[in-house]
């Protein structure tokens, strides 16, 4: 760890870009189901094909008006208010996509990604809960307004730009052991491509999958030099982001309790999240499987071979 760290400064805004999180979650959890229809790709032309069945759900809230939906959910406290969500039912998860991976239930991990992002105030994963809709259990996630955001894969000449959200995605993907970070699961603000929202987190917190899949996205760019074909160890984590990690670690029992409420997540998987946080705080560098050995002089897998 003797390579000089590159200074990175960033400002953290503690107000969520998604609005009043508690209010949104309450509506998502308690709203009354009115109607269920169709598939998201039939509604929006600018949504890349999903490996799993993805449906749109409409719920109520004052800050997020109804866009269009296949499932409507009414706010019991104010029937005139609506928000829109994406519903990913467990029975819509593709058996083919699970054939070569260890994770066999995606929807609990979609929720885990939000809980982790929210706990550490990264604010880059839309509010997500587990809910049963018309007899089908799955992940329900706030839908991102396509008037303001576009899928990165559909933005002409899009390239990732370093900035606050770029660093947050890199941190989150190490915490989640996420390799599946590509332009299909990044939303970009149309008037500021530095502002990112991370979606699609079904294949996370899995050591076998992290080992087998190719790393992509901000984490890869910050931990591996493609031109020199060697690991990078010079990318320091911005101080404000380190403070968020430290604060979240102090309150880890809250997150542990929330994660333990999710089906199929093991205590071991949850425990290792905090190990990875401690590694970030110790090294003060962005980490991935590409540069871990260069930083700590041992394989990243050594902490998982028990």
What residue spans define the domains of the chain?
Answer: 21-142, 149-303
Amino acid 39: pLDDT = 53
Confidence of residue 71 (pLDDT cuts 50, 70, 90): low
Q: Alpha-carbon torsion 247, 15, 199, 89, what sign?
A: positive
Q: What is the pLDDT of residues 77-102, one digit of tens each?
A: 888 877 888 888 888 888 888 888 99
Choice between 94 and 110, residue whose per-residue pLDDT is larger: 110
Question: In angstroms, what CA-CA distances link 242 with 35, 121, 143?
Answer: 44, 11, 29
Can you tell me the mean pLDDT for 106-112?
A: 96
Architecture category of domain 149-303 in CATH: Orthogonal Bundle (1.10)
Q: From CA 286, how far away is CA 219, in angstroms rounded? A: 7
What is the bridge-based pairing of β-strands 224-225 and 32-36? Answer: unpaired
Q: Which two tokens stand for residue 174?
A: 């190490």
Residues 6+ apart with CB under 8 A from 200: 50, 110, 180, 184, 185
Confidence of residue 152 (pLDDT cuts 50, 70, 90): confident
Q: Is the pLDDT of residue 60 over 70?
A: no
pTM over cut 0.75: yes
Amino acid 213: pLDDT = 93
Q: From CA 195, how far away is CA 157, in angstroms rounded? A: 16
Q: Is the pLDDT of residue 261 over 50?
A: yes
Share of the chain above pLDDT 70, in %: 81
Choice between 82 and 172, residue whose per-residue pLDDT is larger: 172
Amino acid 29: pLDDT = 92
Q: Which residue has the tokens 């998860």?
A: 93
Q: Which two tokens stand for residue 163?
A: 């900035």
First and final CA of the chain: distance in angstroms? 26
Sheet holding 136-142, edge to edge: 32-36, 71-74, 55-59, 83-89, 136-142, 128-133
Amino acid 55: pLDDT = 57
Q: From CA 160, how far away is CA 152, in angstroms rounded? A: 9
Amino acid 105: pLDDT = 94
Amino acid 65: pLDDT = 29
Q: Which two tokens stand for residue 224?
A: 């591996």
Amino acid 6: pLDDT = 59
Outline where 59-183 has alpha helix (H).
95-98, 107-119, 164-175
Q: Is the pLDDT of residue 62 over 50?
A: no
Q: From CA 206, how far away is CA 25, in angstroms rounded? A: 27
Q: From CA 155, how far away is CA 49, in angstroms rounded? A: 15
Choice between 73 and 234, residue whose per-residue pLDDT is larger: 234
Choice between 183 and 55, residue whose per-residue pLDDT is larger: 183
Q: Is the pLDDT of residue 13 over 80?
A: no
Q: Which two tokens stand for residue 103?
A: 């994770």
Amino acid 64: pLDDT = 30
Amino acid 73: pLDDT = 66
């Amino acid at each position: 760890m003797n390579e000089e760290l590159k200074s990175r400064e960033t400002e953290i805004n503690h107000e969520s870009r998604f609005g009043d999180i508690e209010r949104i979650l309450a509506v998502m959890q308690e709203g009354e189901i009115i109607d269920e229809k169709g598939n998201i790709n039939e509604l929006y032309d600018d949504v890349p094909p999903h490996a799993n069945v993805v449906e749109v759900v409409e719920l109520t809230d004052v800050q997020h008006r109804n866009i269009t939906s296949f499932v409507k959910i009414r706010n019991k406290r104010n029937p005139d208010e609506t928000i829109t969500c994406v519903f990913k039912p467990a029975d819509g998860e593709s058996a083919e996509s699970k054939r070569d991976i260890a994770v066999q239930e995606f929807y609990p991990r979609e929720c885990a990604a939000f809980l982790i992002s929210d706990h550490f105030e990264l604010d880059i994963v839309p509010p997500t809960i587990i809910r049963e809709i018309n007899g089908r259990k799955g992940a329900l996630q706030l839908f991102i307004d396509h008037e303001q955001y576009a899928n990165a894969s559909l933005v002409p000449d899009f390239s990732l730009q370093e900035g606050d959200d770029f660093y947050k995605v890199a941190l989150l993907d190490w915490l989640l052991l996420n390799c599946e970070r590509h332009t299909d699961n990044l939303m970009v603000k149309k008037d500021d491509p530095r502002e990112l929202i991370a979606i699609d987190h079904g294949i996370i917190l899995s050591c076998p999958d992290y080992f087998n899949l190719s790393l992509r996205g901000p984490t890869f760019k910050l931990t591996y030099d493609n031109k020199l074909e060697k690991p990078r160890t010079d990318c320091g984590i911005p101080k404000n982001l380190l403070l968020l990690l430290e604060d979240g670690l102090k309150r880890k029992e809250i997150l542990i309790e929330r994660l333990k409420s999710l089906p199929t997540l093991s205590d071991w998987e949850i425990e290792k999240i905090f190990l990875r946080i401690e590694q970030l705080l110790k090294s003060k560098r962005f980490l991935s499987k590409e540069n871990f050995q260069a930083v700590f002089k041992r394989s990243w897998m050594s902490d998982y071979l028990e």
